[in-house]
């Protein structure tokens, strides 16, 4: 932003009070599907079967996936939630086993833990990266801990080096929830390849999507061979008779989903790269704004900015986070307040332990003494009380980014304490 533009913005009245809105730029419409998807679907409809096993489109999806993620065992599945559940099951999580993870995430991260009769244990987060704080993770480890699920929120890599070291030290399984992190890199490694098992989402709202779908993958020979079975009713599709040795759900992908995902994978690297440029530019422009904490991402990593999240500092401003969000909306900057509103452990089903027909069997059997009403994570709760979610995507223009930063700067200066 030029000095003259900055001064002009500073001197304007808030749009909320009748001033001129700071944002006049618009982004081009986001067209997610087109000829590449149609071509893949047309090819798929020529097939005699739409079943995933040995399906041409599912095979092609795996091949394209491996171009970016060098993982031997790859199981396309029905959703990101399914991918995490498969990973948790393959990791051997069973009744009473504890899995440490984030409380700012989608329910999909914890559903699989609960269905395996495991216990989600929530650790606190780093304040401006919004990923697991390794120091607090260490505090949460007990003899019952089986695994850690690192959630790469917003496409921002967690502290994977430290988390992997913790897992190796305590013989734990590191599962990466990469649902929001297509194209993300931790140092020079693709996200999902640092831990023992990686999970991705192909949900309609992710960087790339096919409506709903997912992928779970691993190079670890202890877990990789189990992924297909835990996503396909424990059936071994290699030609042996149907003799399932354990209980497993049906989380299979279908050929129509795979066909769309194949076309989407062709654009994954480009889409995620454009989002990184937008996110890092916004952080750069907000670096010196009073009362604002920009989204932090390590410059050594590739942060693919599924969305941008900043925090306001109420101690430095004369407004609440809600009033700040209202003011920047009036400037033309669409935003969301608080992201998911409350931590996962405060959801009614956790507060009431209402997981299976109004009860929690493993607690009734004495396999856990967890009481989610007593869980309190100071940083997690502070993040949700002060964060503002700003949407960016691959079509976000430099002009819009400049004006968005100007709107935030304008509002922050208006509410800055003397």
Q: What is the pLDDT of residue 238?
A: 81
Instruction: Please check the confidence at residue 325 and state whether its pLDDT lies above 50.
Output: yes
Task: For residue 318, give the CATH number of its domain.
Answer: 3.90.1150.10
Q: Do the Cβ atoms of 388 and 310 come closer than 8 Å?
A: yes
Domain boundary among 229, 264, 299: 264
Same-domain status, 103 and 166: yes
Report the 10 Å Cβ neighbour count for 217.
Answer: 27
User: Is residue 74 one of the residues assigned to a domain?
Assistant: yes
Confidence of residue 12 (pLDDT cuts 50, 70, 90): confident
Q: Do the Cβ atoms of 153 and 180 come closer than 8 Å?
A: yes
Confidence of residue 74 (pLDDT cuts 50, 70, 90): very high
User: Model pTM?
Assistant: 0.95
Same-domain status, 144 and 239: yes
Tens digits of residue pLDDT in 76-90? 999 999 999 999 999
User: Domain residues for 93?
Assistant: 35-264
Domain count, the chain: 2
Q: What percent of the chain has pLDDT over 90?
A: 94
Same-domain status, 186 and 82: yes
Q: What is the pLDDT of residue 135?
A: 98
Confidence of residue 2 (pLDDT cuts 50, 70, 90): very low
User: Is residue 226 one of the residues assigned to a domain?
Assistant: yes
Domain boundary among 232, 264, 296: 264
Report the 10 Å Cβ neighbour count for 237.
Answer: 12
What would the two tokens of residue 73 be?
Answer: 């065992």
Same-domain status, 185 and 283: no
The sign of the torsion formed by the CA atoms of 229, 232, 235, 236 equals negative
Task: For residue 222, give the CATH number of its domain.
Answer: 3.40.640.10
Q: What percent of the chain has pLDDT over 70?
A: 97
Same-domain status, 212 and 283: no
Same-domain status, 200 and 332: no
* Cα–Cα nearest to 271, from 187, 321, 207, 316: 207
Q: What is the mean pLDDT of residues 268-279?
A: 97
Q: Look-up: residue for tokens 């650790």?
A: 123
């Amino acid at each position: 932003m030029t000095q003259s533009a900055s001064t002009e913005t500073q001197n304007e009245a808030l749009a909320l009070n009748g001033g001129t809105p700071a944002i006049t730029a618009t982004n081009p419409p986001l067209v997610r599907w087109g000829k590449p998807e149609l071509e893949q679907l047309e090819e798929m409809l020529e097939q005699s079967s739409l079943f995933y096993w040995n399906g041409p489109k599912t095979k092609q999806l795996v091949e394209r996936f491996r171009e970016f993620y060098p993982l031997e065992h790859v199981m396309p599945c029905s959703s990101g939630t399914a991918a995490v559940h498969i990973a948790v099951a393959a990791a051997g999580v069973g009744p009473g086993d504890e899995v440490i993870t984030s409380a700012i995430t989608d329910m999909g991260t914890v559903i699989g833990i609960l269905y395996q009769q495991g216990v989600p244990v929530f650790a606190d987060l780093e304040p401006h990266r919004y990923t697991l704080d390794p120091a607090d993770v260490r505090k949460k480890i007990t003899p019952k801990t089986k695994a850690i699920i690192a959630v790469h929120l917003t496409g921002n890599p967690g502290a994977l080096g430290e988390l992997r070291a913790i897992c190796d030290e305590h013989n734990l399984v590191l599962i990466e929830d990469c649902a929001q992190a297509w194209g993300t890199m931790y140092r020079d490694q693709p996200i999902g390849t640092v831990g023992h098992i990686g999970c991705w989402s192909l949900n309609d709202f992710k960087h790339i999507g096919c409506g709903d779908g997912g992928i779970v993958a691993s190079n670890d020979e202890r877990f990789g061979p189990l992924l297909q079975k835990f996503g396909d009713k424990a059936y071994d599709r290699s030609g042996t008779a149907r003799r399932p040795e354990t209980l497993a759900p049906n989380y299979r992908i279908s050929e129509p989903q795979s066909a769309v995902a194949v076309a989407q994978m062709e654009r994954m690297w480009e889409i995620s790269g454009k989002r990184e440029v937008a996110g890092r530019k916004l952080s750069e422009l907000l670096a010196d704004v009073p009362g604002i904490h920009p989204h932090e991402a390590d410059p050594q990593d590739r942060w693919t900015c599924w969305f941008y999240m900043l925090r306001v500092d109420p101690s430095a401003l004369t407004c609440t986070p809600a009033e700040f969000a209202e003011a920047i909306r009036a400037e033309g900057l669409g935003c969301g307040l608080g992201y998911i509103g409350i931590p996962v452990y405060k959801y009614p089903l956790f507060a009431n332990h209402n997981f299976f027909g109004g009860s929690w069997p493993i607690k009734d059997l004495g396999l856990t003494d967890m009481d989610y009403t007593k869980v309190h994570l100071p940083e997690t709760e502070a993040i949700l009380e002060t964060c503002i979610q700003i949407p960016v995507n691959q079509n976000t223009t430099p002009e819009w980014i400049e004006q968005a930063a100007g709107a935030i700067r304008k509002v922050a200066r208006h509410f800055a304490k003397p």
